[in-house]
Amino acid sequence: MVGIFSRHRSLALLASVVLAQLLLLAFQIKRDHDIRLIRYWAVGIMSPVERGGTWGFSSIRGIWTGYIDLHNARKENQQLRAELGELQLRNRELESQANEAQRLSAMLSFHEAHPEAPILAAQVIGASADSTSHTLFINRGTRDHIHNNMAVVTPDGVVGKIVEAFPSTSQVLLINDRESGVGALFAASRTHGVVKGSGDPDPRLDYIVNDEKVKPGDVLLTSGDDRIFPKGLLIGTVVDSKPALPFQLIHVQPAARLDRLEDVLVLLSQQEFEPKKAGEASFPLIPDAPPEPTASATDPSAATAAAAGAKPVSAPAAANANATNTTGTAGTTAAAPPASSTKPNDSAAKPHAAAPVQNSPVAAKPAAAARQ
Amino acid sequence: MSSMLSAGAHNESNVEVHKYYGGTVIGAAFLALLFQAFLHKYGRWAELIDLPLLVTIYFGVSKRNPVSGMFLGALIGILQDALGHDGPIGMYGIAKTIIGYMASSVGAKIDTEHPASRFGLVFILFHLHQAILAVTERALLNRPARFFTPRLLLDSVITAAAGVLLFSLLDRLRRQS
């Protein structure tokens, strides 16, 4: 027996080891797996290493995922920046369209508020290349029944007048140009004067005697004496006034934003606008005017005219009226200056056939903007 | 049987016995158990490869000593059982004891350096290992155990392929004679 065992020692050992494990299994089955000590040792040996491995693996994975995340974050950042740029561009486009829609809506409101006035909407397509002159070009011309000396306005106020009408475009002389002159009157006192360009961005009100009380914020309207602008249109407000010789030096802030014009309205006739009554939809172009005095203390000629049953006309306005029948050159005396230095158009006094509003951008563009 | 063993003993003297640096065998076995337990956390795919079995086979074949291969298999198996939670200790111990013994015995008789022979050896011993497990489960624990399934075939192929790669890596741990 011993000899067999020694000859087959390895096999005997194998049988012994397997048998021992079988007994261990049987013991566990009987005791319901109650071999905690071996498990305790095995887990005690392995768990620290496993914990370390897990920590190392997690660290490596954290570094890797951090790098990947950083890389992705950079990529995502670039994408978001590009997206932000596109959205900002889109936002600006929408803002521009909203502003345009607002402008056109204001123009439409203006036309609806004054259906009696033939109006043609136009777009500003260019400006003068000469920095000393304040003119601009609009996309309407003689084909659209536009002629010289037609008034150009916006819903905010007076812009200027047509000085050259071409077949498809027209040149507009702004009220702050040196060559420009607009018959004006104070909305409150009804004192007449002439708003003239001075070469500066803001025009001046001339021919107001030093005795006249003028304060900043006084509203100026067109007087209608120049036979170009209908009476009652808003020109602007007084910025400041200084006594000077022979007349006060009064700076005027134009109501229309002359440096940011995009759409304008051309008045095809000099027909006066009907002032709105209280409670009706008012429009800034024609503020509520106080009752016109029958005579002005500073305007004796007007008093004379009123007494004669004629329309009250101030001294400079009377001179303007005279100037309309001349060649249009500037007056040589301070007492009788022309309100408009260019030759007035006779046709400005008679109403033109208005272009259909449906064909004008005033009616078409708000709908287009609303669709967008 | 005795002639076979004597022939094997005779052949043992003609076959090179590889030696390793101190702690290599225990370290490799420990790492195999560690990876096996560790990789299970990251997915079921880790079950496809039985790393402790591969280490048992490799060192059994390399040492070419059935007794040391048997004890190495017993140690690895019992630790593998201990790291489990639902089985009694001894299931893998018995299976790997036998596999370690057989791998050492086979390694003493045939060339196990070629990748193809390694692949075949691992493939066969894998199924033998599973068969011992199944018999033990059925006979001692009265648990239903399948001897052969398509999944088991896939596992054996993957484990054999992994064994070829792992054995070439472990070859680098051999001490130059």
* pLDDT of the residue at A218: 93
CB A120 within 8 A of CB A355: yes
**Within 13 Å, how many C-alpha atoms sit on residue B116's CB side?**
0
- CB contact under 8 Å between A24 and B97, yes or no, is no
Give the span between the Cα atoms of B24 and A359, in whole angstroms.
96
Q: Give me the residue from B33, B70, B141 closest to A17, CB to CB.
A: B70
Query: Which residues on chain B are in Cβ contact (under 8 Å) with A39?
Result: 82, 89
Q: Give me the residue from A17, A42, A57 closest to B97, CB to CB.
A: A17
Higher pLDDT, B153 or A39: B153
- What is the Cα Rg of chain A in Å? 44
CB A151 within 8 A of CB A229: yes
| Structural domains in chain B plus CATH codes | 2-173 (1.10.1760)
Of all residues in chain A, the one with the smallest CA distance to B140 is: A26
Query: Which residues on chain B are in Cβ contact (under 8 Å) with A24?
Result: 88-90, 93
Query: Which residues on chain B are in Cβ contact (under 8 Å) with A50?
Result: 34, 37-38
Which residues in chain A (48-67) have CB-CB distances under 8 A to chain B? 49-50, 53-54, 57
Query: Which residues on chain A are in Cβ contact (under 8 Å) with B37?
Result: 46, 50
Q: What is the pLDDT along chain A (372 residues), one digit of tens a residue?
A: 556 666 678 888 889 888 988 888 887 777 665 556 677 777 777 778 777 877 887 888 888 888 888 888 888 888 999 999 899 989 988 998 888 888 788 778 777 777 767 888 898 888 776 666 788 889 999 999 999 999 999 888 999 999 888 888 899 999 988 889 999 999 988 899 999 987 777 899 999 999 889 999 999 999 988 888 888 889 999 999 999 888 999 999 999 988 888 889 898 876 666 554 444 433 444 444 444 443 333 443 333 333 333 333 333 433 343 333 333 333 333 333 344 443 333 333 333 333 333 334 333 333 333 333
Strand ranges inside chain A, DSSP E: 119-127, 135-138, 151-153, 158-165, 170-174, 181-186, 192-196, 204-206, 219-222, 234-242, 249-254, 263-267
Residue type, B150: P
Give the span between the Cα atoms of A128 and A148, in whole angstroms.
17
Give the span between the Cα atoms of B30 and A45, in whole angstroms.
10
B37 shares contact with chain A (CB less than 8 Å): yes
Contacts of A296 (CB under 8 A, 6+ apart): A189, A190, A191, A192, A302, A303, A312, A314
CB A148 within 8 A of CB A163: yes
Q: Give me the residue from B71, B83, B97 closest to A42, CB to CB.
A: B83
Bridge partner list, B20: B174
- CB contact under 8 Å between A18 and B94, yes or no, is yes
* pLDDT of the residue at A26: 80
A46 shares contact with chain B (CB less than 8 Å): yes
* pLDDT of the residue at A220: 94
A15 shares contact with chain B (CB less than 8 Å): no
CA–CA min distance A372, chain B (Å): 54
Of all residues in chain B, the one with the smallest CA distance to A40 is: B82
DSSP A151-190: EEE-SSSEEEEEEEE-SS-EEEEETTSTT-EEEEEETTT-
Contacts of B111 (CB under 8 A, 6+ apart): B117
Give the span between the Cα atoms of B168 and B24, in whole angstroms.
15
**pLDDT tens-digit readout, B79-130:** 888 877 667 788 889 999 999 999 988 887 887 888 899 999 999 999 999 9
Structural domain spans, chain A: 108-371
Cα separation values, B169 from B73, B113, B162, B173, Å: 20, 12, 11, 8
Strand bridging mode A151-153 / A263-267:
antiparallel
Give the span between the Cα atoms of A224 and A182, in whole angstroms.
9
Give the span between the Cα atoms of A7 and A12, in whole angstroms.
9
Tell me the average pLDDT of chain B.
81
Q: Which one, of B156, B67, B162, B30, lies nearest residue A53 by Cα?
A: B30
